[in-house]
Amino acid sequence: MPIRYKIHENSLPNRPGSHMAHVEPTYVADLEDIIERIVGHGTTVSRSDLYSALTDFTGAVEEMLREGIFVRTALVNYHVGVRGVFDGPEDGFDPSRHQVIPQTIPSRRLRRMLQDHAQVVKLGPTRRRPVVARYVDVNSGTANQTVTPCGAGRLVGQQLKYDPADRRQGVFFVAAGGAETRVELAARNMPREVIFVVPALEPGPYVLQVRVAFEGNEDIQVSRLEEELTVPA
């Protein structure tokens, strides 16, 4: 999925008439999303072990930062700074005037990766629309690959919440021949996450779509998962 951006006028007084790019996040990922992405790439490590290792990693970094250690990782380098004004060389740290703050520096590897491999797409005028970022098949433990009929599915993205009473809206599985099957039962229907029971689909390839009509606009906005999903035979 490309990086989406919009052009906005620069508000800095010394750059009148200039414009800048503002990146629109696809969605906000948390630790669970990172674990799902790792699992989706075929790791042999279990979810529980991944969660434990990443949690331990976070705790170790926090502990070293409290000791004033500069922490270098593959993606980001961490260190701490002190914010506030000191009255002179004899002045000391005063919690009422000063604050210890975290500071980060992107690594050379991260900068090079984005420079060499990131793809961008320019967005037009602002218009609300759903964005389907990832489908997780809970039963098979795969992401953007397999669909388990009558199992549990999880969608992650933006502006995904729909009105279940409106039959035009919802999560749809579209078969290769064009036949559409709507999800009828959603346990969670929120803007960034939809958890639902997968319909009794026949084996074959499917395109997953989310269709939403936003308040004040009856037009249906459609977003689809880029990857094609498969119900195994």
Task: Provide the residue type at 158 as one letter.
Answer: Q
Higher-confidence residue of 162 and 128: namely: 162
209's CB contacts (< 8 A; 6+ apart) are 132, 171, 172, 173, 174, 222, 223, 224, 225
Q: What is the mean pLDDT of residues 43-70?
A: 95
Judged against a pLDDT cut of 80, whether residue 58 lies above it is answered with yes
Band of the pLDDT at 29, cuts 50, 70, 90?
confident
Judged against a pLDDT cut of 70, whether residue 12 lies above it is answered with no
Q: Is the pTM of this model over 0.75?
A: no
Band of the pLDDT at 198, cuts 50, 70, 90?
very high
pLDDT at 127: 66
Q: Are 168 and 180 in contact (CB under 8 A)?
A: no
Q: How many CB atoms lie within 10 A of CB 47?
A: 14
pLDDT at 13: 67
Domain ranges of the chain: 3-8+19-122, 131-231
The winner for highest mean pLDDT among 29-43, 72-86, 125-139 is: 72-86
Q: Which fold would CATH assign to domain 3-8+19-122?
A: HU Protein; Chain A (4.10.520)
Helix (H, G, I), strand (E, B) or coil at 89: coil
Band of the pLDDT at 170, cuts 50, 70, 90?
very high
Domain 131-231 falls under CATH 3.40.630.30:
no
**C-alpha span between 150 and 27 (Å, rounded):** 27
Q: Are 187 and 195 in contact (CB under 8 A)?
A: yes
